[in-house]
Structure 1
Amino acid sequence: MPKISPLLLALPLALALSACGSEPDPVANDADSFAARINQNGGATPAPQGTVAPKVAETLPGAAPGPFAPGTLTDPASATCGANLMGPFIGRPADDATRSEIVLALGRSDNLRFVAYGSPGYVNPDATNPRLSLMLDAQDIIRDARCG
């Protein structure tokens, strides 16, 4: 079996120990130095001076107040199912009296369903569908109105 020189065994150990005592250059690790290294022109990219608020479009006629959500009562196209008429009923319990008021406001009782919290299946809003789905929470409070 060939004999390995003790110097060859000590070489990796000597290299590892010499690396332990070196300190990185603190100036080279600051944010400006890093930005200068990654930019091709050698300078840091200037930070944006400010932001511009997005322009919010005007609410279309026939939509319920609130942030727009396609297929829900805030969508003017939801007039196909009457979801846009359900604003006054959001937050109310879905008891018999409220359900009767909803039928009167819609002018019909067909294509109307109350979707209880945790109902199995998937409800997909479709603003072109004439069925009105009223979404209830765990306490049977009406939380949303959707076409489909």
Structure 2
Amino acid sequence: MAIKRASIAALAMLALPACGNTPNSSDSTTAAAEDFAARINGPATEAGDDAANPAATTATAVQGSPSGAPTVAPPLPNAAAGPFVAGTATDPNSATCDANRMGPFIGRVADAPTQTDIENVVLLGREIRWLRPNAPAFNTDAASPRLNIMLDTQDIIRDARCG
């Protein structure tokens, strides 16, 4: 019984000092959070400086700021929105198979008139492969001049890729 009381007393001695440290630990947590925010966002500015003029923030980032903020290159003229996927119509090298010319056909049903329109748009003699879901396996080569038209189960054109 004496061992049990000694164990309880030891636990109480350990728990009581921890209760007194709670306000200090939240102050250090707040300070750490503010330090992190300052490193990410740069030094604090007066409210409304950057909100009123967002172009100033962008210009600073593009010119390169001493805080090491990431920069993004401006998009090229007539570039597709978002990142490109290799071998698809948004790939800059998609001209090797004319996938870049398939934009107007995406979302259309691949019926005979649409297939004829596509054949008229691509270069004469270009090989076109129509791929449906659950089709037998096929080899791909993104550098190939062959145009792959990806269809869904309802024969709607969903993508155009080289290979």
| TM-score using structure 2 length | 0.62
What residue is the counterpart of 1:146 in the other structure? 161
- How far 1:145 moved relative to its partner? 0.8
Check 1:9–1:144 CA distance in 2 against 1; reply closer, same or farther (3 A cut).
same
1:93, 1:109 → 2: CA distance? 23
Q: SS of 2:35's equivalent? A: coil
Check 1:44–1:111 CA distance in 2 against 1; reply closer, same or farther (3 A cut).
same
The structure with the largest helix share of the pair is: 2
Counterpart of 2:35 (choices 44, 50, 74) is: 44
The runs of 5 or more residues in structure 2 that have no matched partner are 43-56, 62-70
Q: SS of 2:119's equivalent? A: helix
Kept in 1, the 8 Å contact 2:132–2:151? The answer is yes
What residue is the counterpart of 1:40 in the other structure? none
Kept in 1, the 8 Å contact 2:97–2:126? The answer is no
- Are positions 1:27 and 2:13 aligned together? no
Aligned AA (1:94)? A
| TM-score using structure 1 length | 0.67
RMSD over aligned CA atoms reads 3.4
Aligned AA (1:147)? C
Question: Of the two, which has the highest radius of gyration?
Answer: 1
What residue is the counterpart of 1:11 in the other structure? 6
Aligned AA (2:76)? E
Kept in 1, the 8 Å contact 2:98–2:123? The answer is no
Q: SS of 1:27's equivalent? A: helix
What residue is the counterpart of 1:106 in the other structure? 122
What residue is the counterpart of 2:91 in the other structure? 75
- Superposed, 1:59-98 pairs within 5 Å as 59=77, 65-67=80-82, 68-98=84-114
The runs of 5 or more residues in structure 1 that have no matched partner are 1-5, 38-42
Superposed CA offset, 1:116-137 (max 9, x none): 23546477561x2111111123
Q: SS of 1:133's equivalent? A: strand
Task: Work out the number of aligned pairs and report it.
Answer: 134
- Are positions 1:56 and 2:74 aligned together? yes
Check 1:137–1:129 CA distance in 2 against 1; reply closer, same or farther (3 A cut).
same
Aligned AA (2:112)? D
2:16, 2:148 → 1: CA distance? 70
Check 1:84–1:25 CA distance in 2 against 1; reply closer, same or farther (3 A cut).
same
Q: SS of 1:44's equivalent? A: helix
- How far 1:147 moved relative to its partner? 0.3
Kept in 1, the 8 Å contact 2:99–2:162? The answer is yes
1:144, 1:125 → 2: CA distance? 16
Q: SS of 2:158's equivalent? A: strand
2:145, 2:35 → 1: CA distance? 57
The percentage of counterpart residues that share the same residue type is 35
